[in-house]
Amino acid sequence: MNSEIRSSEFNNNEVVYPSNPAFGNNVTAHDPSIFKDDDGTYYTFGSHFAVTKSINLMQWTQVANDGGANVLYARNWRTVLADAFAHVGERPGSTWAPCVHKFGEKYYMYYSLSTFGSSVSYIGRVEGDSVLGPYDNSVEIVKSDGRGGPNAIDPELFFSKDGRLWLVYGSFFAGIYIKELYASGENIGLPKEDGYGKLLWQGGDQGPEGPFIFYNPNTDYFYLMASHGSLSTNYNMRVARSKNPDGPYTDPRGMSAENYRNSGLKLAGNYQFQGYPIGYAALGHNSILREDGKYYVVYHSRYRSGASGVTGYHNQFVNQMFFNKNGWPVLAPNRYAGEELQVITMAQASKDYDVLIHTGGDSEGFATSVTYKFSQNGDLLDAEEDAIGTWSINEDYYVTIKIGLNTYEGVIIPQWNNDLQRAGLSITAYSRNGLSLWANEHFR
C-alpha cells in the first residue's frame, strides 16, 4: 500500500533528521478535537471549555483553560445551553468533547452535556461568526435517556467520499453509533432522521468512547478510532477500518467492532522506554488532521508516577501517523517535529534500538523496552548477540520485523526524540495479533 508521501523528494543518500522544534510549555486539553481555520491557524477544543492554538502543530498556546467558558460564550453558557440542561438536569459543570466545523460562513460547535457515569446525555450544536465565537443558538442533535441505548456524548463529524455528512458519537454503555446529517442546504449539519442511528462498535465496561472517523483515499478505507479503558489510568487508542462509512468495521484479526467490544488494533497505551526520564499514561480521545497527504493524531496523555501510578492533567500532544504496506495505521513513537518519510537503507538503519511492544488489551501496566541490535545482514540480536528474529526494509521505508511467531509491519522514519533531546531513527509497526511495536534509536 503506497504512502501519500513519496520518498523521491529525498534524492540523496543522506538521512534528513528533524531539528529540535523547541516545543515550549505543554498545553492541556482533555479530549482535544482539532480544527484548521481559514487563516491557517490550528485550534483544538477540549472538554471543560479548554482551547489551544498553533501555527505549525509543534508550538502551542493555551487560549482558554478549563472553566474558561467566557472565551467561547458571550453570555452565561448555562443560559445558551438551556435546552440541554432541561434534558440532563443542572448538575453538569461544563461541556464535554466539543468539535468545531465551518459550513459556509458560519462556525458550528457540537458539544455534549452529561455527568460522569450517566447516560442521560445530550449532544447539541451552537453557532458563531468566528472560530472562538461567541457561540449561541443551541439546537438538539441527539439525546439519550439512560434506558439502555447509547450515550449521547463525544460528537465528531466527517464527510464521506460521496459527499454525505455523518455524526459519530457514543461512550461505553451501548457503544459507538453513527447518524447521517444533512450535507447541504438550510439544514446542513442537522439530523436527517430521528433516532440514535446505527451501531458501529459494541460498548462495555471498558469503553469504547471518543470516536473519530477519517478516510484515506490511498487505501480507500474509512478508519474508526476510539479509546478504551479508564481516562484516569489505562486509556488506550484503538482503530478499526471499513470500506463504508457506516461499517462494518473490523480489526487486523478480522474481528468485527460491532460484535466484539475488545476489538480494534491497539495503537498505543501506557508506556515508558527503559532509561527514559518520563513515562506516559492514559493516551487517548484523539482527533485526526489530514493535510497534504500527512496524518496527525492529536490526543491527550498523562504521566507515570512510580511503578504503576498516574499523575498530572491531560497534556495535549501531536504525533504523526503513517500507513504500512497492508493499509493499517501505525503511530509514530515521538511527537511531531517536522519529520518526513524518506529512503532509508539497511546500512543506514543498522543500529541498536530500544524496542517496545505495547501491552495487549486494557492493561494498566506500563510497556517497557529492551535493546536489540538490527544487523545489516537482517539479523535481530539480543544483548547476548543471540539471533532472536529478523528485519528488513523494502520500498524505501517499509519495515518488516519478525520476533518469534509475530511479524510486525510498519515504517522507519527519522524523528526528534524529545525525551532524550536527540534526533535518531524510529520504527512503528504492528502485528496481525493486534500488538503495536515502537523502536527508538538507542543512544549510549
Active site residues: 31, 209
Q: Which of helix, strand or coil describes residue 438?
A: strand
DSSP, res 372: E
What is the CA angle 310-314-320, rounded to 5? Answer: 105
Q: Distance between CA atoms of 266 and 53, rounded to whole angstroms? A: 28
Q: How far apart are CA 30 and CA 302, in angstroms?
A: 10
112 burial level (CB within 10 Å; 0-12, 13-18, 19+): buried
Among the listed residues 113, 3, 65, 15, the one whose alpha carbon sits nearest the alpha carbon of residue 347: 15
Q: Which residue has the cell 481559514?
A: 38
- The whole-angstrom separation of Cα 287 and Cα 284 is 9
- Cβ atoms within 10 A of the Cβ of 407, count? 16
The sign one gets for the Cα dihedral 332, 338, 339, 341 is positive
CB 170, CB 154: distance < 8 Å: yes
Grid cell, residue 112, equals 455534549
Q: Please name the residues in contact with 348: beta carbons below 8 A apart, sequence gap of 6 or more.
A: 15, 425
**What is the torsion angle, in degrees rounded to the nearest 10, for the CA atoms of residue 295, residue 284, residue 330 and residue 13?**
60
Cross-strand bridge partners of residue 410: 399, 429
Residue that has been written with the C-alpha cell 459519530 in this structure? 168
Residue pointed to by grid coordinates 451501531: 199
| C-alpha dihedral sign at 167, 291, 239, 363 | negative
10 Å Cβ neighbour count for 342? 21
Opening angle at CA 19, ends 421 and 332, nearest 5: 75
Phi-psi bin for 81: left (phi > 0), alpha (psi -120 to 50), beta? alpha
Entry field: residues in the chain: 444
Specify which residues 53 forms β-bridges with: 43, 61
Strand (E) positions, 307-405? 309-323, 329-335, 352-357, 369-374, 379-381, 387-394, 398-403
